[in-house]
């Protein structure tokens, strides 16, 4: 079968191929479709060459070249010195036709020859919206001849139709109290779905009462402190500005000033894991109160014991807001034998109150509320250690708060009747 | 021919086969290390690459067998690195995140830890330079590797029904380095403000002590805080291995490696105080004119050169440092090194930097050490 030299510019078939592939949302649209683009009709060539994409396994499609001269193919495959550069013969890349010759590297993947077919398998799965072009160069294969027209084939999974419709929202910010301490250590930003990583700090600002951004209030870490699902970002306030006696604190002072109001602003153009912007921006206004230099003290917490025989809640009032994530994770109920009691936990009253509902009804008896040592309040103070210890004050016996050695955490007991 | 003939000669993927032998002695085995993420990189001797996998809470040692410079070694210069990586990995430019860069001192090739994607399902990739402007993917399908789990904090008390599914706590590895016979790993948790530094013996052995080193910072001998390490570099001061570490709160401190024992509480000696706009990102050391210097990339994307003259000889630092913030090593900004985000020593006289100058393309290039 011969293909006449095309009467239209050579890029048109590629565009058509792209349109064909784009015309269906199904990933299979572009598979197995032999699309022999026009090739030069030269004497002595069979011209049955076709480039096609094979159905992907594990999302990694295979580009195939069929109809190659088997003797020539075997010769090339057997060459080891100098090595056959299969990338020149079958170039697979994400640019426009011919781009690979200029400035774009070719796709990472493996070449193989089986049963007279040259194949390329991508190292990574395909992404929606990216054009993958398999470009066969006959002159490179034959070691000469006209290479102005190549055989090529696009693989394109079109972008999702609702690509730009926002789906993810910033669901909540902790701490949520109206007043936060001057030495506040962190915020948690929880989203309704997974977010994209890499430019978080560009989308978060802290504004003062005049609406002017506070200069460098946050610890900006390239790693960005996300949870594994990337639905929660931990935003640390710059510890250098909180810690007394450190240069940034002495130069610029705390990012937050007592008695002032601030607004934490999150921009709507922050994109989620699939590249969509947020449904809306987010603003949280708060007032700044005095620095908290007291350790959390479980002895002062108020426990409201539940009633036996039912799944009534155990309520614990801290008397102050505690770190949301740590309070959620580090408090646990154990029975008298030391066995953890299964149940669900919730925090309320701006993280001042912890509520536990057991999976099965309470039995009468003594229980223990165990508190992990790593529990922090909003300023990073732990039970056993303040965030920044004033050693001079400690030596003088005037350590504020009731910090005491509790390396293994604390225990409160309560009785269910 | 019924079985596929793999054509290894001209692949855009390079396979590594280690010079270290797999076996019980070294703990190395052959296979795919199964990275869930890849971030910080550091090289040990003989082309052994240490790569952090934050999501798996592990450090993987890979015997790259990349132990001599390529025959046609050309100066590394890659314009538009992000675009080049997107072409190699077959994705959009916006889906490429360069997590870290390290130069293999044995071959002077640069290795890049790259995330392909920005979401939680981003795929980790290891890419290296092939000389000049070439990039190649390092296949991890069959490498000689050894893995060390980063010891977990005390067991989580997961009680809630909804929270059986997942634990939101994650400790990001902020830096790692190889020093003599151990890998030092600095981490920062996304919940408690912890200051963990792990010293893991290498070759990796199972059942290492799970306790990290607690690092404290004393300011003016008065205020003492837990002090997570942002970045650090091992150096030798008077035959004594030390690390120079930059805390997240910006002081540069010196810590004797001998004191980094599991469970120890260590207080760094402040050797320099950096100002508000000089938050440290990356640090390397080098020798020039018979002296040891430090180069520090900082958050304003400039680079500072720090003299180590005047570093005190090693001694156990267990007491708060008096006047820590008022005396310090001298440092100067290196003119022209703008927009630096990644930094490593390429050879004795050259640094390799990844930078994005104002209004320009991001590029990987070598610069003479100042």
How far, in whole angstroms, is CA A283 from its chain's centroid? 22
Q: How far apart are CA B325 and CA B321, in angstroms?
A: 9
Residue A88 parent element (H or E): helix A86-89
Q: How far apart are CA A109 and CA A123, in angstroms?
A: 4
Contact (CB<8Å) A246/B226: no
Residue of B nearest to A200 (CA): B118
Mean pLDDT of chain A: 82
- List, as one string, the DSSP characters of B198-250: EEEESS--SS-----EEEEEEETTTEEEE--EEEEEEEEETTEEEEEEEETTS
Contact (CB<8Å) A113/B91: no
Q: How far apart are CA A36 and CA A124, in angstroms?
A: 25
- pLDDT on residue A36: 38
Q: Are A170-289 and A298-416 equal in CATH topology?
A: yes
C-alpha distances (whole Å) from B314 to each of A393, B163, B324 are 30, 47, 16
C-alpha distances (whole Å) from A97 to each of A14, A141, A294, B144, B268 are 8, 18, 66, 38, 57
Which letter does DSSP use for residue A227 in this model? -
Contacts of B153 in chain A (CB under 8 A): 374
| Contact status, residue A266 vs residue A171, Cβ threshold 8 Å | no
Q: Which of A63, A198, A230 to mutate to test the interface with B (most CBs of B within 10 A)?
A: A198
Residues 6+ apart with CB under 8 A from B214: B195, B196, B226, B264, B265, B266
Contacts of B116 in chain A (CB under 8 A): 124
- Facing residue for A372 by CB, picked from B99, B157, B274: B157
- pLDDT for B316 beyond 80: no
pLDDT in tens, A52-95: 998 777 788 899 999 999 999 998 988 866 666 888 899 999 88
Structure tokens of B27? 């703990």
- List, as one string, the DSSP characters of A164-226: TS----EEEEE---SEEETT--EEEEEESS-B--S-GGGGEEEE-TTSPBPSS-B---TT-EE
Distance between B254 CA and the closest CA of chain A, angstroms: 16
Strands B143-149, B171-179: pairing is unpaired
Q: How far apart are CA A233 and CA A248, in angstroms?
A: 24
Q: How many residues are listed for chain A in this entry?
A: 417
Residue A113 parent element (H or E): strand A109-114
Q: How far apart are CA B21 and CA B38, in angstroms?
A: 24
pLDDT in tens, A59-68: 888 999 999 9
Mean pLDDT of chain B: 81
Residue B332 confidence class, pLDDT cut points 50, 70, 90 = confident
Contact (CB<8Å) A230/B120: yes
Distance between A362 CA and the closest CA of chain B, angstroms: 15
pLDDT in tens, B141-150: 999 999 998 8
- Facing residue for A185 by CB, picked from B115, B118, B193: B193
Contact (CB<8Å) B276/A251: yes
Domain locations along chain B: 13-149
Q: How far apart are CA A375 and CA A384, in angstroms?
A: 10
Q: How far apart are CA B113 and CA B34, in angstroms?
A: 14
Structure tokens of A165? 């419709």
Selection from B19, B57, B63 nearest residue B40 by Cα: B57
Contact (CB<8Å) B87/A95: yes
Contact (CB<8Å) A391/B55: no
Residues 6+ apart with CB under 8 A from A19: none
The half-sphere exposure of A358 on its side-chain side, counting CA atoms within 13 A, is 21
Backbone CA torsion sign across B155, B160, B163, B164: positive
- pLDDT for B369 beyond 90: yes
Contact (CB<8Å) A240/B136: no
Distance between B289 CA and the closest CA of chain A, angstroms: 31
Architecture, CATH, for domain A298-416:
Sandwich (2.60)
Residue of B nearest to A324 (CA): B191
C-alpha distances (whole Å) from B266 to each of A282, B197, B318 are 41, 10, 6
Q: Which of A111, A229, A335 to mutate to test the interface with B (most CBs of B within 10 A)?
A: A111
- List, as one string, the DSSP characters of B317-338: --SPPTTTTT----EEEPTT--
- Facing residue for A216 by CB, picked from B2, B139, B276: B276
Cα radius of gyration rounded to whole Å, chain B: 21
- pLDDT for B216 beyond 90: no
B:309-328 residues touching chain A, CB 8 A cutoff: 320, 325
- The 10 Å CB-count burial string (b at 16+, else e) for B260-274 is beeeeebbbbbbbbb
Q: How far apart are CA B39 and CA B55, in angstroms?
A: 10
Contacts of B277 in chain A (CB under 8 A): 216
pLDDT in tens, A381-409: 999 888 888 776 654 333 343 434 456 78
Selection from A397, A415, A228 nearest residue A307 by Cα: A415
- pLDDT on residue A39: 43
Coil, strand, or helix at residue A401? coil
Q: How far apart are CA A199 and CA A265, in angstroms?
A: 15
Instruction: Decide if B356 touches A, using CB distance below 8 A.
Output: no
Residues 6+ apart with CB under 8 A from B71: none
pLDDT in tens, B284-312: 999 999 889 999 988 776 898 988 887 76
pLDDT in tens, A281-291: 999 999 999 99
Structure tokens of A67? 């109809």
Q: How far apart are CA B71 and CA B327, in angstroms?
A: 48
Contacts of B86 in chain A (CB under 8 A): 94
Q: Does 3.40.50.620 match the CATH number of domain A170-289?
A: no
Of residues B190 and B358, more confidence is placed in B190
Q: How far apart are CA A109 and CA A118, in angstroms?
A: 13
pLDDT in tens, A232-286: 999 999 887 877 777 777 777 788 999 999 999 999 999 999 999 999 999 999 9
C-alpha distances (whole Å) from B251 to each of A201, B25, B272 are 22, 40, 6
Q: How far apart are CA A193 and CA A19, in angstroms?
A: 32
- pLDDT on residue A199: 92
Distance between B9 CA and the closest CA of chain A, angstroms: 5
B:203-262 residues touching chain A, CB 8 A cutoff: 217-226, 228, 230, 248-251
B:252-271 residues touching chain A, CB 8 A cutoff: none
Q: How far apart are CA A308 and CA A366, in angstroms?
A: 11
pLDDT in tens, B47-95: 999 999 999 989 999 999 999 987 777 888 999 999 999 999 999 999 9
Domain locations along chain A: 11-156, 170-289, 298-416
Strands B171-179, A331-335: pairing is unpaired
pLDDT in tens, A294-351: 999 999 999 999 999 999 999 999 999 999 999 999 999 999 999 999 999 999 999 9
How far, in whole angstroms, is CA B330 from its chain's centroid? 25
| Contact status, residue A378 vs residue A180, Cβ threshold 8 Å | yes
Structure tokens of B247? 């805390």
Of residues A41 and B124, more confidence is placed in B124
Q: How far apart are CA A350 and CA A358, in angstroms?
A: 22
Residue of B nearest to A219 (CA): B248
């Amino acid at each position: 079968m011969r293909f006449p030299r095309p009467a239209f510019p050579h890029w048109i078939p590629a565009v058509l191929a792209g349109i064909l592939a784009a015309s269906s949302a199904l990933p299979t649209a572009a598979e197995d479709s032999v699309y022999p683009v026009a090739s030069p009709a030269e004497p002595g060539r069979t011209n049955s060459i076709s480039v096609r994409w094979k159905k992907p396994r594990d999302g990694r499609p295979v580009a195939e070249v069929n109809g190659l001269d088997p003797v020539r193919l075997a010769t090339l495959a057997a060459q080891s010195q100098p090595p056959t550069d299969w990338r020149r013969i079958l170039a697979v890349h994400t640019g426009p036709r011919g781009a690979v010759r200029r400035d774009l590297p070719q796709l990472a993947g493996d070449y193989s020859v089986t049963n007279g077919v040259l194949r390329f398998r991508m190292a990574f799965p395909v992404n929606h919206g990216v054009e993958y072009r398999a470009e066969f160069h006959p002159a490179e294969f034959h070691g000469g001849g006209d290479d102005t027209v190549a055989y090529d084939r696009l693989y394109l999974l079109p972008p999702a139709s609702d690509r730009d419709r926002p789906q993810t929202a910033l669901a909540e910010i902790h701490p949520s109290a109206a007043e936060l301490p001057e030495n506040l250590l962190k915020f948690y930003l929880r989203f309704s779905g997974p977010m994209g990583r890499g430019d978080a700090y560009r989308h978060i600002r802290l504004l003062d009462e005049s609406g002017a951004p506070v200069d460098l209030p946050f610890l900006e870490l390239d790693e960005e402190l996300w949870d594994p699902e990337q639905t929660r970002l931990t935003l640390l306030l710059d510890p250098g500005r909180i810690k007394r006696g450190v240069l940034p604190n002495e130069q610029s002072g705390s990012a937050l000033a007592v008695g002032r109001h601030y607004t934490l602003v999150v921009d709507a153009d922050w994109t989620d894991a699939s590249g969509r912007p947020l449904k809306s921006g987010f603003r949280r206004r708060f007032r700044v109160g005095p620095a908290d230099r007291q350790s959390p003290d479980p002895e002062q917490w108020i426990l409201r014991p539940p009633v036996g025989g039912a799944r009534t809640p155990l309520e614990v009032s801290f008397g102050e807001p505690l770190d949301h994530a740590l309070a959620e994770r580090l408090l646990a109920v154990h029975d008298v034998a030391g066995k953890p009691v299964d149940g669900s936990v919730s925090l309320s009253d701006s993280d001042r109150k912890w509520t536990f509902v057991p999976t099965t009804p309470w039995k009468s008896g003594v229980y223990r509320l165990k508190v992990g040592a790593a529990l922090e309040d909003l300023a990073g103070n732990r039970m056993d250690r303040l965030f920044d210890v004033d050693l001079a004050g400690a030596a003088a016996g005037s350590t504020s708060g009731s910090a005491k050695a509790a390396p293994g955490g604390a225990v409160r007991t309560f009785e269910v009747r | 021919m019924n079985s596929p003939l793999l054509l290894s000669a001209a692949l855009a993927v390079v396979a590594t086969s280690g010079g270290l032998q797999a076996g019980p002695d070294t703990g190395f085995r052959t296979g795919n290390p199964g990275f869930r993420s890849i971030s910080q990189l550091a090289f040990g001797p003989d082309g052994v690459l240490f790569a952090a996998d934050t999501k798996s809470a592990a450090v993987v040692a890979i015997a790259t067998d990349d132990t001599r410079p390529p025959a046609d070694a050309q100066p590394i210069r890659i314009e538009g690195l992000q675009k080049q990586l997107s072409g190699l990995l077959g994705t959009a430019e916006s889906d490429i995140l360069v997590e870290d860069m390290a130069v293999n001192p044995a071959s002077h090739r640069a290795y890049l830890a790259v995330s392909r994607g920005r979401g939680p399902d981003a795929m980790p990739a290891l890419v290296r330079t092939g000389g000049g402007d070439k990039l190649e993917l390092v296949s991890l399908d069959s490498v000689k590797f050894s893995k060390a789990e980063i010891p977990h904090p005390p067991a989580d008390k997961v009680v809630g029904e909804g929270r059986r599914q997942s634990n939101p706590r994650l400790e990001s590895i902020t830096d790692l380095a190889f020093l003599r016979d151990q890998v030092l790993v600095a981490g920062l948790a996304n919940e408690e403000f912890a200051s963990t530094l792990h010293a893991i013996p290498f070759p990796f052995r199972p059942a290492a002590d799970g306790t990290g080193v607690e690092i404290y910072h004393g300011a003016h001998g008065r205020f003492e805080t837990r002090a997570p390490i942002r970045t650090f570099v091992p150096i030798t001061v008077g035959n004594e291995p030390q690390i120079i570490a930059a805390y997240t709160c910006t002081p540069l401190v010196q810590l004797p490696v001998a004191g980094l024992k599991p469970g120890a509480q260590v207080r760094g000696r402040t050797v320099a105080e950096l100002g508000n706009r000089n938050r440290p990102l990356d640090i390397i050391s080098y020798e020039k004119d018979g002296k040891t210097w430090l180069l520090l990339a900082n958050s304003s994307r400039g680079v500072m050169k720090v003299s180590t003259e005047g570093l005190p000889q090693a001694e156990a630092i267990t007491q708060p440092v008096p006047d820590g913030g008022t005396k310090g090593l001298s440092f100067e900004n290196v003119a022209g090194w703008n927009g630096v985000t990644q930094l490593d020593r390429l050879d004795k006289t050259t640094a390799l930097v990844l930078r994005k100058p104002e209004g320009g393309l991001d590029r990987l290039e070598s610069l003479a050490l100042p």
